[in-house]
A and B are shown apart, each in its own frame.
Chain A
Amino acid sequence: GNSVTQMEGPVTLSEEAFLTINCTYTATGYPSLFWYVQYPGEGLQLLLKATKADDKGSNKGFEATYRKETTSFHLEKGSVQVSDSAVYFCALGNRDDKIIFGKGTRLHILP
């Protein structure tokens, strides 16, 4: 079946550091891949998505590239800010099947 595995947190970085949060997946067919962000006390918001291999999703300085050969969709940001502190969820959506979420990675950015 479909599954998503993302790196466990918490991840703690200093402001302006480079961020990578790893996400790998197992799926049949050609799923869409997503990153969602959850700020403290709020619901989940779509951060970015990619619908086919080699697509790059980007938003708010975050990027992720859909790599079919490595079944990965790692989230990256070149220079993080304190306001990026949140929980990040990788997710997979396959046609005619339910959405699958990773367990989430908590990110702390220190000023």
Chain B
Amino acid sequence: NAGVTQTPKFRILKIGQSMTLQCTQDMNHNYMYWYRQDPGMGLKLIYYSVGAGITDKGEVPNGYNVSRSTTEDFPLRLELAAPSQTSVYFCASTDPGNTIYFGEGSWLTVV
């Protein structure tokens, strides 16, 4: 009963490095999302996808890229990491009834 799986759970990056946060769901959901949550704050939508091959920007897309080559996978790419990208990242997907399922989160620190 995997649901939404994201990796890694924790990562420390140096300024200017790049990395990819992986996200996979096994529920055949069309909609997938990436959010970031800064300490003590709410969720901010980075990117979302309505299906394979289709992605769209959310509120805070700058500094990130996504792709959606399959229904299952929705990786988030950070290029040239900056301290402002220190945050917790959540991947999510929604079922046809719009219930959203979250991954467990990825804690990213940029130093």
Taking the closest CB of chain A, its distance from the CB of B47, in whole angstroms, is 10
Which residues of chain A are within 8 angstroms of B98 by Cβ–Cβ distance? 31-32, 34, 93-95, 99
Question: Is the CB–CB distance between B97 and A32 below 8 Å?
Answer: yes
Interface centre among A44, A51, A95, A103 (most CB of B within 10 A): A44
Q: Is the CB of B100 within 8 A of A93?
A: yes
Q: Mark B79-111, 1 if CB is under 8 A from A, else 0.
A: 000000000001010100111111111000000
Pick the contact of A101 from B40, B42, B97 — CB < 8 Å? B42
By secondary structure, the B interface counts as strand
| Contact A98/B33 with A32-B97, A34-B100, A43-B103 known, Cβ cut-off 8 Å | yes
Contacts of A44 in B (CB 8 A): 43, 90, 100, 102
B104 adjacent to A91 (CB under 8 Å):
no
Contacts of B97 in A (CB 8 A): 32, 51, 93
Say which residue of B40, B42, B58, B104 sits within 8 Å of A43 (CB atoms): B104
Q: Shortest beta-carbon distance, B1 to chain A, in Å?
A: 15
Report B101 CB to chain A, min CB distance, Å. 8
Q: Does B48 contact A (CB under 8 A)?
A: yes
Residues of A within 8 A of B105 (CB): 42-43
Q: Which residues of B contact A (CB under 8 A)?
A: 31, 33, 40-43, 45, 48, 50, 58, 90, 92, 94, 97-105
Contacts A/B (CB < 8 Å), 24 sampled? A31-B98, A32-B97, A32-B98, A34-B98, A34-B99, A34-B100, A43-B102, A43-B103, A43-B105, A44-B43, A45-B102, A89-B42, A89-B43, A91-B100, A93-B94, A93-B99, A93-B100, A98-B58, A99-B94, A99-B100, A101-B43, A102-B42, A103-B41, A104-B42
Binding site for B on A (CB under 8 A): 31-32, 34, 36, 42-46, 49, 51, 89, 91, 93-95, 98-99, 101-104, 106
